[in-house]
Structure 1
């Protein structure tokens, strides 16, 4: 993993940068002291490890939990009640569900910001009300569309109630809307207190996680990360043809990666770190274990990979299918 400097290097690096920039020892001491104070006052502590363990390793689930990605998008239409039921039937410990919002502010399950890829409709969610979404077929473009024909886009409330009924752990994946998401989830936790011991809020955006902890510091949280995500696609291909843009974003990737591993995790007080499977190793798992943080790998889609994570690494993994091998998913 790139830039794995020790956490204690942070303030030394800041000191050197400030000293070079200002050439003033007084300013250097003041700015570094302010950084110490800021971190001490505004960072969130991790939730008690016993409760984080209960969420990540529910009683009776064994050492390793298999979590259905988007409810198990290979086995049933993603982010639907049908997917949640199939995941439970196929032996998943939990489900990962994507949170989005309609034009009238209703929290629903949807990965994209448009309905084009997964339904028989077209258009951005930001311009569609819940009543309009209710007319769409969420199975229209799924490989098993005939089996699940007519499946609807569920509200977040409907999905949570189904997961609670089936005793599934929920990984809430929040793509954005930090204020709206925190408010919606806070209400759900208030209505279903069982979620404190059976769910975790995850996001690629640290602001989302920090806002969630501000809203309710008792919620178990995780940061999600894929190294080089700004400059490259999941398969490694460059995102941009412009060389200067590619190199600039590669540099930003390095900064972001370092921040995730040395500042942001501590600032947000996370209990788990969800990382793309190609970057997980025994050393990496140990790195996070020393910080009281568990690694969860995504997306693990073959039998051989699952055996590796289950038997050797012994870490939770997120998968598109509980029943068969399927295509890589980045």
Structure 2
């Protein structure tokens, strides 16, 4: 009933805004009706609640809340590596977040950045490197514990999934782009490893990625990732542009994007969770989504005080860079 009531409010607001802008009740009615028909025809229903619950609230979190290692635990081991996955499991994580990328020969691998410069002893865009070239790089070369993990390789998606299943970890597949290629590669993983339907979630900042994933395989649990003001400001809050005009328009787009995430896109994609930047989460925010059957997961929670807040007060899942100690805040 709440969702139906919400929709009446949203579409009424659209009607009023369009009518005020066009001074045409007929035009506003047609546009609002078209939007409603589009939503009814093309939105995906969420996966069954029991399936989403198994993924987002695994039994391994009994007595606490699920804890997900960011990039498989980038502070405790070289990020997005098999060593990090094993380390996360040893340190008590219930899941790992892994970043999907592709080599020049189309092999899905784990890498957060567009280049290999920050994390390996190589350089250049990952989409310009063949898998054989990537395999020669040391993925621990620039990590603070490089001596302990020396020689660690960049894993393929297949290797990472196999290791996560072995360690009984939930996987948060983070997809940043290459929508069709990513959906196809992940669909292949779900066919090879059916256990993933009950132990993984596909998440992205880009709604089109989630929509394409649901279109490719509607049985997959999905989540939208969001940070308010992401178009106008960097993660630390500094403006992306020095131009007042540019800042104004990007800020306006931010408002529209935020509204769309909370009132339209989640429903269109049929997501089971929203991954929200930590500074924008409160008890009221968690309750807002709970009323809509959507879980909230916070990121990135890197201090003991923050973790206690999530475990004892919010009682929701969180993503962290370290399972062992406080580390640098990540915005």
User: Which residue pairs with 1:189 in the alignment?
Assistant: 190
1:30 shift after superposition: 2.1
Give 5+ residue unaligned stretches, structure 2. Answer: none
Of residues 255-264 and 25-34 in structure 1, the stretch that sits farther from structure 2 once superposed is 25-34
User: Which residue pairs with 2:163 in the alignment?
Assistant: 162
1:253 shift after superposition: 0.7
User: Which residue pairs with 1:19 in the alignment?
Assistant: 19
Give the alignment's Cα RMSD to 1 decimal.
1.3
| Alpha-carbon separation, structure 1, partners of 2:328 and 2:14 | 43
| Alpha-carbon separation, structure 1, partners of 2:297 and 2:184 | 26
Of residues 19-28 and 293-302 in structure 1, the stretch that sits farther from structure 2 once superposed is 19-28
1:7 shift after superposition: 4.7
1:267 shift after superposition: 0.4
| Alpha-carbon separation, structure 1, partners of 2:6 and 2:218 | 27
| Alpha-carbon separation, structure 2, partners of 1:69 and 1:288 | 23
| Alpha-carbon separation, structure 2, partners of 1:110 and 1:181 | 13
Q: Are positions 1:224 and 2:225 aligned together?
A: yes
| Alpha-carbon separation, structure 1, partners of 2:22 and 2:301 | 48
Describe the superposition over 1:111-159 as per-residue Cα deviations: whole angstroms up to 9, x where unpaired: 0010011001110112111111011000000000111111000000000
- Conserved? CA contact 2:239–2:247, under 8 Å: yes
Of residues 284-293 and 54-63 in structure 1, the stretch that sits farther from structure 2 once superposed is 54-63
| Alpha-carbon separation, structure 2, partners of 1:6 and 1:231 | 28
- What secondary structure, in the 3-state scheme, does the structure 1 residue paired with 2:208 have? helix
| Alpha-carbon separation, structure 1, partners of 2:189 and 2:228 | 32
**Counterparts in 2 of 1:1-330, with a 5 A limit?**
7-62=7-62, 63-330=64-331
1:23 shift after superposition: 3.4
| Alpha-carbon separation, structure 2, partners of 1:61 and 1:277 | 20
Give 5+ residue unaligned stretches, structure 1. Answer: none
- What secondary structure, in the 3-state scheme, does the structure 1 residue paired with 2:59 have? coil
Of residues 20-29 and 120-129 in structure 1, the stretch that sits farther from structure 2 once superposed is 20-29
- What secondary structure, in the 3-state scheme, does the structure 2 residue paired with 1:317 have? strand
The two structures have a TM-score, normalised by structure 1, of 0.96
1:248 shift after superposition: 1.2
1:50 shift after superposition: 0.7
| Alpha-carbon separation, structure 2, partners of 1:176 and 1:286 | 31
- Conserved? CA contact 2:60–2:94, under 8 Å: no
- What secondary structure, in the 3-state scheme, does the structure 1 residue paired with 2:174 have? strand
| Alpha-carbon separation, structure 1, partners of 2:308 and 2:59 | 21
- What secondary structure, in the 3-state scheme, does the structure 2 residue paired with 1:70 have? helix
| Alpha-carbon separation, structure 1, partners of 2:60 and 2:73 | 21
| Alpha-carbon separation, structure 1, partners of 2:328 and 2:112 | 18
- What secondary structure, in the 3-state scheme, does the structure 1 residue paired with 2:212 have? helix
1:256 shift after superposition: 0.5
1:235 shift after superposition: 1.7
| Alpha-carbon separation, structure 2, partners of 1:167 and 1:114 | 30
- What secondary structure, in the 3-state scheme, does the structure 1 residue paired with 2:72 have? coil
| Alpha-carbon separation, structure 2, partners of 1:8 and 1:277 | 30
| Aligned residues between the structures | 326
